Structure 1
């Protein structure tokens, strides 16, 4: 394939297709040789240089022995510091616990705080592994459908209140910024949810892993920062993996607001749920302490790409409903107005040779939707858009600015 043009962003736009296909990760490995993957939420960009340097240094120093962390890893104060600097939230380092993965964080909290058959309210559509976790753990899913309005996707506070009361929910799983719609809930919207949580004594499990991928002027507000009551009832789940493209380091954090839940967690055998790798801690610290410049460039690229997706869809697939994502690198596309005779994921793969996500795994009423990952180079994204548009019968006209890429 030809390389990106000089005016692009080095490290972001100079991706080589053959090197991407040679990667061992699931995103590219699962796609065929002639397929472009834009499905799972991994970015195509290389590891941030400060993170790569820190990991190399640990290897060069032969520093792979048991860590000396009698009071927890150094991520605990680092998390508290970052929350204060980024969001003005006075999180407590003493309430932070490390896990290997955000899904594990959720599963542990559900295991400790809820019981078999308990009702858990959750926005729909939603991240498929979260919904699968609730089903596997036999927690009754109470869907809180997001409403597609003229301006964005919204939660309906009255509907949330009614559903929580009707089904006697024990917990609310809040994904904010939201995957897959890309919404960033405002302080007022979060305040409405906080009132409902207090009224019904809900545990709020707040997944905030996309917090650092909010696009200006939208700003992330940690749910636990809203009030003392919100802080006491909220468990916050997060990681550096999404904002710095580090999924394989297997390092995530849980901030426990409820005293009782933290005590239950600490009463468990110390290694029952695994321990975080020192290399995961090294990578996360390097990202948080030295990766901000890289992240600013990343957000510039993602902002350009989200606008590109939005513009191409409006021009060439005007019937497909789509809102400019306020956060993340994921676009949520409603293809139902096209009246397709097969699931859009299958159609785009068969006719366009692009692998996307979507459909029933994202919850009730998600059939006919596609989730498109636009965290890739300008050239690859343009080729993805060209193929998707053609597969869905869009108007003619190139989405890209050059020749078609070689398969």
Structure 2
């Protein structure tokens, strides 16, 4: 790109808009919580939306032939991630939360167990519980090399819990882990043994840092593909969450048949703007995305150095993907819990509260918080520059003299 559009963020523009990340904050508080980026959108997306507005083209969607969003999805999976989706099995919905809710209703019954790695994206946990299904947590544990989970005896554990579905978030939110082929194979083996439906949320797939590479779960083999619903969207990597467009690729025959019997009107249909913006993001925004990843990598390293220089151990592992940092504050002056709430008060920085990422489960994350670093280096420096003295003040208050 001709200039670095990621070097500067206009915080006042963000505060004056309609986005919850900044618009809901008290004056002076810096937003680093909701997983929206502070940047603009790719030029191709902006130009696409402007053309639609100039044509006043906001009617019911129509396209000759195959859905262009489905075509763009198929192309991106094949060229970027090495997986060829099954033709004719893609549905366009509004977001991955809706996709998960639909699949829960179609593939499970009230009381069934739904396995998911915990900590996890809070709306997913709420969706499972709200549907009357039981959350079966697969605890993410910290090792000397990063975050992982115990694969040994996995099928037996899931059988004992009456699981009928596995929800896989890969890359993982909030730890930023990119699961390896061996880890995914262990999950696939358990899913095959128990005949589980797998919903694989891969919305952060385009946000992996080298040398890590995203591996679509359905690409592990025909048997795995035949039980997997792949859910994704351009929203996270191209900053268009408000345009409400996502893709569900349904490999499972029974779920596809059940989905086909439900009228599309039951789910609603994403409009022209979200569809066109998604296609522009996936097909025409490679240069913008490359610039984004350079900035995110710089910010990721900044946080890594910051965490290493603190006098307290955050138990920190840099994310292998996403623009999210997962901090353990139990070894800091915030060890009493609710660190995000206390840091908003003490530092004027809003993080995502860790307890929300294990709601409804026996996993304890109340001492954690998540920081979103998808902002300019200058704003990130200000965020970290506020957090450090706030932690020091709290430490002195706990241990005066």
CA offset digits 1:129-187 (Å, max 9, x no partner): 00011111111000000110001100211153332121120000000000000000011
Structure 1 position 192, deviation (Å) = 1.3
Cα distance in 2 for partners of 1:331, 1:355 equals 13
Pairing 1:2-401 to 2, within 5 Å after superposition:
10-69=4-63, 73-158=67-152, 160-338=154-332, 340-363=335-358, 364-393=363-392
1:331–1:371 CA contact under 8 A, matched in 2: yes
Give the distance between the partners of 1:394 and 1:96, measured in 2 at CA. Answer: 53
TM-score (norm 2): 0.94
| Cα distance in 1, alignment partners of residues 330 and 156 from structure 2 | 28
Query: Does the C-alpha gap of structure 1 residues 77 and 337 become closer, same or farther in structure 2, counting only changes over 3 Å?
Result: same
TM-score, structure 1 as length reference: 0.92
Distance 1:317 1:36 in 2: 24
SS at match of 2:342: helix
**Residue 399 of structure 2 corresponds to which residue in structure 1?**
none
- CA distance in 1: counterparts of 2:57 and 2:348, whole angstroms: 44
Query: Does the CA contact (< 8 Å) of 2:61 and 2:271 recur in 1?
Result: no
When structure 1 is superposed on structure 2, of 311-320 and 145-154 the one drifting more is 311-320
Cα distance between partner residues in 2 of 1:229 and 1:76? 22
Q: Is the 8 Å Cα contact of residues 176 and 324 (structure 2) preserved in structure 1?
A: yes
The superposition leaves residues 29-53 of structure 1 with CA deviations (integer Å, 9 ceiling, x where unpaired) of 1111110010000000011111000
Q: How far apart, in 2, do the equivalents of 1:65 and 1:34 lie?
A: 40
Say if 1:72 and 1:269 are closer, same or farther in 2 by CA, change over 3 A.
farther
1:86 offset after TM fit, Å? 0.7
Q: Which runs of 5+ in 2 are unaligned?
A: 396-401
Larger deviation, residues 358-367 vs 179-188: 358-367
Conservation of the 8 A alpha-carbon contact between 2:33 and 2:351: yes
Give, in angstroms, the shift of residue 93 of structure 1: 3.8
**Structure 1, 336-345 or 306-315: larger mean CA deviation:** 336-345
Given that residues 145 and 155 in structure 1 are in contact (C-alpha distance below 8 angstroms), is that contact kept between their aligned partners in structure 2? Answer: yes
Structure 1 residues 136, 60: closer, same or farther in 2, change over 3 A? same
- 1:60 Cα deviation (Å)? 1.5
- Is the contact between residue 356 and residue 372 of structure 1 (CA under 8 Å) also seen in structure 2? yes
SS in 2 for 1:215: coil
Query: Which segment is superposed worse, 68-77 or 137-146?
Result: 68-77
RMSD: 1.7
The whole-number CA distance in structure 1 between the counterparts of 2:302 and 2:141 is 24
Is the Cα contact below 8 Å between 2:38 and 2:375 reproduced in 1?
yes
Q: In the aligned structure 2, how far is the partner of 1:395 from the partner of 1:117?
A: 44
Cα distance between partner residues in 1 of 2:191 and 2:18: 43
Contact 1:58 1:64 in 2 (8 A): yes
- Paired residues of 1:76 and 1:97 also in contact (CA < 8 A): yes
Contact 1:389 1:395 in 2 (8 A): no
Query: Relative to structure 1, is the Cα distance of residues 72 and 263 closer, same or farther in structure 2, using a 3 angstrom cutoff?
Result: farther
Distance in 1, Cα, partners of 2:175 & 2:393 = 22
